[in-house]
Structure formats: C-alpha cells, structure tokens
Structure 1
C-alpha cells in the first residue's frame, strides 16, 4: 500500500479539486490528476535510464503545459493558415502524381479552388460557391474535376 499512498500524496500536491464541482467534474479532474502523476513517474524512469536527472512534479507540469499549449497553437495556426500555406512557396501539391477520386458516399463538398477565387473577387454579389463530389486523396482537398483539379496541382497561385 506504500505505492498507493505515495501516489495519492503526489496527486494532492497540484490537484484540481474544488468543493462546488459536480461529481462527474471531480471524477474527470481526478482521472486527469492520476494520469499526470503516472506520466511523471514514467517520464522520470525514462530520464534515469538515459542518464538524466529526475525532474520535480512542478517542473514536469510546467513542461507538460508548455508542450500542450505549443501543440494547440500549432494546430490552430495550421487551421487558420491552411490556405495561405498552400499559396506560398513550393508545396507538395505541385510535386508528384495526384489522382482524382470520388468522395465516399453521396457527399458533395466545397471546391477549394472555386471558393478561393470567389473569396478574392471584389464584387461580392457575383460570388458563386461550387460544390463537388471529387477530391485529391494525396492533398485531402475537394476539387472540381475540370479545370480546378489541374489548376490546383500545376499553378502556384491558383486563386488569381
């Protein structure tokens, strides 16, 4: 029981508990706390095996929070800059062989090229958003079969 007591003691150092929480929130944060302590223990064992010194729970939590925040900001940045990253510099969409295939099922999604062109038009009254049932599996984007598929894979600034 010494291991369990030590684990419970480590969980109390930086716990999430609040008195006004509902039971399911307490359970959720208790599980998060347990997994954090377990991750800290495993992390220290691996560090010792590789010849490094152990880190404190506080140092581990700070590092974990920084890494999670970095992951989140990188993912958010990718989602926000998805169009601009394909518009700048050499991209994988311009290199290699790409094949058009139908979207699974009877789905239709917005064509990336048509919508980018519509967004860059000054006159908002004439914007037309087209939907297509074709996509490039390599790039993971929905495209009209003619001419958008070819434009997307051969022209750097396809939206102009």
Structure 2
C-alpha cells in the first residue's frame, strides 16, 4: 500500500511498525493509533483504505473518493467550531438514509430469530423481511394508501395463506388412526370436560376467548369442550363461532 496526501490532520501510514502478531489480511494495511479527528489513510491503485477517529474508530474502503477532509454544517457544541469529517463518511451518511429507514421498519416486525447458523439469519432478514418491504413500497406508490407496515404484513400473510394453503380432504373420524374431522366441514357436538379423580367438575380455558382476533381477548374458564377437536369452548357462542368461521 502507498500513502496518500499528508496534509494535516491526515496521517498516512508509511511503514507498518513491528508488532508481534500482525493481522493476517492480505493487502490491508495495519493502521497505528490516531487521535480524535485525525485520519490515517493508504491507497493502492484505485482503492483507498482509511481509519478515522471520531467517537469511535471508523474504517472504510472506497474507490470513488479522495483523501479529503471537508467542513460540515454542524458545529461542536463545546467549541462552536464547524465539525470536519472525511468526504467519504459524509457521502456515506447522506446515501444511507433510505437504508436506515428500511432497517428501522424491519426492526419493529422482523421475522429474525436467534440462531447459531449464519445462513438462517441471512435468509430471514435478507430474503423474507425484504420480500415484505419491497411490495409495501410498491403498494404505497401505486395506491396512495398509507397503512402501517405491520397492517400490510398481516394482510399479505393472510392473503397468501388463503390462496396457497394446502386443501385438506375431509376424512371420517377414526379412533384407530387418530385422525380428526375438520372443524368447518363436519358435525361436532359439545361435551363436558373429562373429569379427573381429584376434580369431578374440571374447567379449561376457552380457546376462542383466549385467541380471538376480531374482539378483545380474555381469560374465560368453561366446563364444556368439543370432544372431536379436543378444544375447550364456551357455550353456545364460542362453540358456534369456532366451528363456522376461519377467523374469529
């Protein structure tokens, strides 16, 4: 790597100092410690690599910027002097605004889950989440309607499930195979929750009251259940709603 301009406060690396364990990165220079506001930079051909000290150390690679420090519109609240930054940092900050906004939207409703596999993180964040964000922006441009990203995601997921979910063929109830009739296509009858040796009249939590989507959820205990579905339900409303509606 060869040094770039040496105008202050730019400090360029002329030769790497002797260190016991140099970083094993081919073609990447070793930068010495720099004071706050200073830059240490090197370049090779059309690629420049620099280290800038601000609140924290910033390392950047660029092929379109010069080794320049420019004056920004912001001022230091202590000294009142204009804040000076590398041209590459200022350009990067201006161009990253839409990316930061996209990351902000995805952070609220991201599908990312903890995993020790790196490819799972890339799949859920880079493919699944971005596949929801791109049609959201297209919807805003085409329709002019501005729902929240969460509402748009819920609507899109429901429509995809309604269109592409696997259609199940109704089967007769069989105690040998363990199959159960579909709750929307077969006849079901209420029964009491099965008693136990210690509780002759047990109660269970109503499934519809606890998982309602079109009304406020609540904790409601009931003695009744659907024997075929194995679900506890209040009589008569929750029992009827569960067996006649997909969404309740």
TM-score scaled by structure 2?
A: 0.28
Structure whose residues are more often strand by fraction = 2
TM-score by length of 1: 0.42
Higher RCO structure (Cα 8 Å, ≥6 apart): 1
Larger-Rg structure: 2
